[in-house]
Structure 1
Amino acid sequence: MSTFTENAPGVAEQSPEAAAGFTLNHSMLRVKDPERSLHFYTHVFGMRLLRKLDFPEMQFTLYFLTRLLPEDSVPEDPDERTVWTFSQRGLLELTHNWGTEDDPDFAYHNGNDAPQGFGHICFSVPNLESATTWFEDMGVEFVKRPGTGKMPNIAFVKDPDGYWIEIVQPDLTAGLGR
């Protein structure tokens, strides 16, 4: 296993042995209307719903989504699929607190409005220009289009709850931050 890391103040010289096997499994976004958000992430970004977990006693539901690869073998058994889901990398968890969809004035803070906090999630795409056309065709709201600003090879779009999604084409990122 590689111990590579770039150097910056605060970075440990080596990964702690006690953290061996730790994996970033998912990031969570709270959503007002799960049907609208699931439609967005599955129709626009091609994500698949791996697992839906209901918690009636606490009145919320969790939806775990990912981009599956052709070689991925998702277990059919619900318990095995739950274990498999929590062993993956880079999933998106959408959390729906029941009843929010019925309140027309309810909205989550997107993290980019004041006071700033959470910033965005990111998808890499094979072709930024094609992805931009796809987002336009799907009626996705842009925060920043490619070709604009100080980072012309990056786009930002919004999901139904106003969360920002960065869009990058990996081979256009060389030279960033220099």
Structure 2
Amino acid sequence: MSFKTEHQPGMTETPAPQTRGFRLNHSMLRVKDPERSLAFYSRVFGMRLLRKLDFPELDFSLYFLAALDEGETVPEDVGERTRWTFSQRGILELTHNYGTEIDPDFHYHDGNAEPQGFGHICFAVPDLDAAVKWLDDNQVRFVKRPEDGALKDVAFVTDPDGYWIEILEPARLGRLGQT
């Protein structure tokens, strides 16, 4: 018998057939300064800009980023690339509301300050020690290092807007949550 899901109160036993093909495509973060955020996510995390969509009549732009696999091809045709982007998994959407970048007092709630809400996004890395060194070399601010606290082998850093980013190496986490 193949794995279907863990069972917990509240979980539906069998997904409705109407949900077949549903997938989580992207998560969105609002950013104050898109140039600063694009530099951070592309330089530090190797993400590529798949598509930028501008909505000047609504005073915002959207930037869709992904960490592509080596050799992965993205359609060059703009319309096809837009359709392709919205069919992927693990996309990060950065939303820039025009004017925030010039307001020195403006900032977004990071979700971890009170009242808490949104928590973090997460990057799985092939080598946590090498990733920590890379993050240190790039002067990324750590909230928690892998050796700190009760939860070992998991790090948290922040992006330019203060959003938390979890960093983990899947190979180290096989016993996570087990006593």
In terms of mean alpha carbon deviation, does 63-72 or 86-95 score higher? Answer: 63-72
| 8 A Cα contact 1:3 1:14, kept in partner | no
* DSSP 3-state at the match of 1:44: helix
Amino acid at match of 2:95: T
TM-score normalized with structure 1 length? 0.97
Mapped contact 1:110–1:161 kept (Cα < 8 A)? yes
Q: 2: distance between equivalents of 1:78 and 1:163?
A: 30
Deviation per CA, 1:92-147: give whole Å up to 9, x if none.
00000000000000000000000000000000001111100000000100000111
How much does 1:72 deviate?
2.0
User: Structure 2: which amino acid aligns with 1:49?
Assistant: L
- Give the secondary-structure state (helix, strand or coil) at the position aligned to 2:42: helix
Q: How does 1:1-178 map to 2 (within 5 A)?
A: 4-178=4-178
- Is the partner of 2:157 in helix, strand or coil? strand
Q: What is the number of residues matched between the two proteins?
A: 177
C-alpha separation in 2, matches of 1:3 and 1:12:
15
Report the TM-score when normalising by structure 2. 0.97
Gaps of 5+ in 2: none
SS of 1:50's equivalent? strand
Q: What is the one-letter code of the residue matched to 1:73? A: T
What runs of 5+ residues in structure 1 fail to find an aligned partner?
A: none
| Residues 5, 88 of structure 1: alpha-carbon distance in 2 compared, 3 angstrom cutoff | same
Q: Residue type of the partner of 2:135?
A: F
Task: Quote the Cα distance in structure 1 between the aligned partners of 2:83 and 2:163.
Answer: 28
Output the CA distance in 1 between the equivalents of 2:148 and 2:112. 19
